[in-house]
Amino acid sequence: MASLFPVILCGGTGSRLWPLSRAGHPKQFIEFGTSSLLADTLARCARLEHAQLIVVSNEEHRFHVKDAVRAFPAADIILEPTQRNTAPAIALAAFRAQEAGGAQALLLVLPADHRMDPEEVFAEAVCKALPAAADGRIVTFGITPSTPATGFGYIITGAELPGGLYEVSRFQEKPDAATARRLLASGTALWNSGMFLFRADRYLEELQRFRPDIFAAVSAAWQGRHTDGRFLRPAAEAFCASLADSIDYAIMEKTDRAAVIPLPLRWNDLGSWEAFYEISPHDDHGNARQGDVMLEDCRNCYLHSTGRLLAAVGVEDLAVVETRDAVLVARRDRVQDVKRIVQRLEKENRPEHALHPRVCRPWGSYERLAEGERFQVKRIVVEPGETLSLQKHYHRAEHWVVVGGVAEVTLDDEVRLVTENESIYIPQGSLHRLRNPGKLPLLLIEIQTGSYLGEDDIVRISDVYGRTDQPPAPLANPKETP
């Protein structure tokens, strides 16, 4: 049988999980408990015998992905020039899989942000579905429904096929409550999980058949691609010419080759805080808690603290989520409307809609601790062996205090080591670079002072990650990070 290529779609923003999930740091990269959703998906793939991992993401999240797949050195990271939904994204992966594994390479398409238990049931279903996919079927995975949910689409099964699969009779959009109850009672309906298994050539044939415009645009984009370190970059102009469409609308609802295999397991796409309430352990009063939370006479609440003490008294049916720079309070039956807040934040050009308090960079991360007029304090982590760009600032000076590890600091013509409990002053206008020469993360506190503290006041002279500067121009919000 042909080689299996897991394809992880990792381009979403998870706006309904604000304030924890932001456009610049979406839910698949955030640790919920002991691991991130992307890490869970990577572990899911590791349980299967496969050839090569393919992750499809975008420019903004490239360093998050690179860090997450550090343990998979052979993995490909394809960067979409712009988001065009799942049909074009999967086509990019299909072209890559054909190159690496031949025309009949098998693709297992997985969103990066799902939870399922037990994992063994999913692995067994993939193995059962492989022969049908190798034979040309486009297989999707349907979750055996446990409730008449209105937040998922449904797959209505048809005739039974060999190996425990079924033909797809039709797809049902997210139903109202009455329709959902009828679907559940019918015994023929499954939740649409958004996971697929098929041959690369069959997918591209069906895409060319039903959406030749998308096929042509993505084909041209792939032919014009270039490699940038770990990243595969399709030609931007050609890819942007593609219309946006999902695999469901572009192919699954039209093809006569669709099949579905039921998954009798606990599954959630974790698309809202209500979903997190449902999968979390509850106390005797129906409350789900994460982090430093103290309750008095509360019932049926979801409370999530990322750092500060979160205390609640005498409330019911609420979702409360705390981050360093924002707090969400919502009725649990209204958490789907959180995206309206995000839209308003974006419209008002507020940084909270996109920027997470912790910002990832190719060398590590930083987190803003305090800020005021003419000063800002950051906590900076530089991973072992990583290096920041050689740069200077026109409007600010910096003071670095090393609190863990060893820093190699370039300051104009001098290079020196700064160790724990030592500090160094970087004058305004000086050329400087920071490197971690050690085997442990470098942790330092950066104190910025000056007339302008925006991240666009960075003039890069050289950069090992290939980042280039645009001509300096103040950002709409000086707290934004380009």
pLDDT band for position 35 (cuts 50, 70, 90): confident
pLDDT band for position 1 (cuts 50, 70, 90): low
> By C-alpha distance, which of 332, 120, 98 is closest to 201?
98
DSSP assignment string, 348-407: TT-GGGT--SEEEETTEEEEEEEEETTEEEEEEEE-TT-BPPEEE-SSEEEEEEEEES-E
The pLDDT score that the predictor gives to residue 469 is 52
The pLDDT score that the predictor gives to residue 422 is 97
pLDDT at 319 over 50: yes
> By C-alpha distance, which of 18, 107, 12 is closest to 60?
12
pLDDT at 74 over 90: no
Q: Are strands 115-117 and 138-143 parallel, antiparallel or unpaired?
A: unpaired
SS3 readout for 336-359: HHHHHHHHHHHHCCCHHHCCCCEE
pLDDT band for position 402 (cuts 50, 70, 90): very high
The pLDDT score that the predictor gives to residue 474 is 37
pLDDT band for position 482 (cuts 50, 70, 90): very low
1 vs 208 pLDDT, higher one: 208
pLDDT at 207 over 70: yes
Where do we find the tokens 């960079």?
A: 361
Q: Which CATH superfamily is domain 4-268 in?
A: Spore Coat Polysaccharide Biosynthesis Protein SpsA; Chain A (3.90.550.10)
Question: Could you give the 3-state DSSP secondary structure of residue 370?
Answer: strand
Query: Residue 59 has which token pair?
Result: 């420019």
Q: Is the dihedral of CA 54, 56, 62, 63 positive or negative?
A: negative
> By C-alpha distance, which of 150, 158, 151 is closest to 189?
158
pLDDT tens by residue, 353-372: 887 888 888 899 899 888 88
Would you tell me the crossing angle of helices 37-46 and 119-134 to the nearest 10 degrees?
60
pLDDT tens by residue, 132-184: 999 999 999 999 999 998 888 999 999 999 989 999 999 999 999 999 999 99
pLDDT tens by residue, 230-286: 899 999 999 999 999 999 999 999 999 999 999 999 998 888 899 899 889 999 999
CA 449 to chain centre: 34
Fold of 357-462: Jelly Rolls (2.60.120)
pLDDT tens by residue, 424-457: 999 999 999 999 999 999 999 999 999 998 888 8
As to burial, measured by CB atoms within 10 angstroms (0-12 exposed, 13-18 middle, 19+ buried), residue 4 is buried
Distance CA 165, CA 44 (A): 21
**CB neighbours of 471 closer than 8 A, spacing ≥ 6?**
none
Q: Is the CB of residue 38 less than 8 Å from the CB of residue 68? A: yes
The pLDDT score that the predictor gives to residue 481 is 37
Q: Give domain limits for the chain.
A: 4-268, 273-342, 357-462
pLDDT at 375 over 80: yes
Q: Do domains 4-268 and 357-462 have the same CATH topology?
A: no
> By C-alpha distance, which of 356, 290, 293 is closest to 325?
356
The pLDDT score that the predictor gives to residue 27 is 84
1 vs 166 pLDDT, higher one: 166
pLDDT band for position 61 (cuts 50, 70, 90): confident
Q: Is the CB of residue 445 less than 8 Å from the CB of residue 379? A: yes
pLDDT tens by residue, 85-100: 999 999 999 999 999 9
How many other C-beta atoms are found inside a 10 Å radius of the C-beta of residue 154? 25
* Helical (H) or strand (E) element with 63: helix 62-68
Please count the helices (runs of H) and the strands (runs of E) in the chain: 11, 32
* Type of residue numbered 212: P
* Helical (H) or strand (E) element with 161: strand 154-161
The pLDDT score that the predictor gives to residue 14 is 73
